[in-house]
Homo-oligomer: A and B are copies of this chain.
Amino acid sequence: MSVQFSALISPVNCPNHGTELDCAHCGVRSLSVCGALHDDELVAFEKMSKTISFNVRETLFEQDEPSECVYNITTGSVRLYKLLPDGRRQIVGFALPGDFLGLALSERNVFSADALTPVTACQFSRSTFSEMLDEKPHLLRRLHSIASHELTLAQDQMVILGRRTAEEKVAAFLIGLRKRWGRVNASNLHIPLPMTRQDIGDFLGLTVETVSRMLTRMAREKTIVIVPDGVRLLDVARIEALAEC
């Protein structure tokens, strides 16, 4: 029963796990990292959750549907998006291991979520989770800190969408993704790209073609290296060159 908590309790998720505050800062979103959960609470948590798996392209939940559950992703990656009636799509984020989904505890989902790779997650009933928060204020405090950090990330994304060029958008995306993978897996030589070029475009407000052209250009200029065993893995040798704010 405790396997499902590997992502929740493993301090390897948080390189700066000295204090809870540091964790909030560096964006690690597992509730229990840095001592937010006590041992007895961990047991309670295990009792009210269950492990659930999703296949590639399977839907975790859909926009506007009543929100039944809260998820903590254990393995795999998830695409979070909003659709316009005419089919235009905006991806609002990608969830990686350790990330929380449904932290707003709202009545209905504000976006859809589906699996980019096989996914395992730790699933809680929203109402049970919500009740537990009432009893454990420090958990709520942690959740609020996570939500606030999410808000900051969303505002950063607004800058990228509104005021960055295509090349800057792709660079910022890669830099951000490398940073996040660094927390899941200390080796940051390669960045896995579980999403398609179309997904990247829909995240950055670009077309597939533009994303492809920018990646090709960066590879030609040796800023990145696309690893030979597939287009979904990048070597990030010199993307620091693009990292000035």
Contacts A104-B151, A144-B144, A148-B103; A84 near B137 (Cβ below 8 A): no
- CB closest residue in chain B, given A85: B245
Is A43's CB within 8 Å of the partner chain B?
Answer: no
Measured CA separation A151–B106 after assembly (Å) = 12
Is A13's CB within 8 Å of the partner chain B?
Answer: no
In the complex, the answer to whether A88 meets B163 with C-beta atoms within 8 Å is yes
Residues of chain B within 8 A of A214, CB atoms compared: none
- CB closest residue in chain B, given A244: B85
Cβ distance A146 to chain B, nearest Cβ, rounded Å:
10
Is A50's CB within 8 Å of the partner chain B?
Answer: no
Most buried by B among A111, A149, A158: A158
- Copies of this chain per assembly: 2
Residues of chain B within 8 A of A37, CB atoms compared: none
| Residue from the list B143, B151, B161 in contact with A205, Cβ < 8 A | B161
In the complex, the answer to whether A82 meets B141 with C-beta atoms within 8 Å is no
Is A154's CB within 8 Å of the partner chain B?
Answer: yes
List residues of A (22-77) whose CB comes within 8 Å of B's CBs: 24-25
Taking A133-B141, A134-B141, A140-B141 as given, write out 19 further A-B residue pairs in contact, using a Cβ cutoff of 8 Å, ordered by the A residue number: A21-B107, A24-B106, A25-B106, A85-B245, A88-B163, A90-B162, A92-B155, A92-B158, A103-B148, A104-B148, A151-B151, A154-B154, A157-B158, A161-B162, A161-B205, A162-B202, A162-B203, A162-B205, A163-B205
Residues of A participating in the B interface, judged by any CB pair closer than 8 Å = 21, 24-25, 82, 84-85, 88-90, 92, 103-107, 110-111, 133-134, 137, 140-141, 143-145, 147-152, 154-159, 161-163, 202-205, 244-245
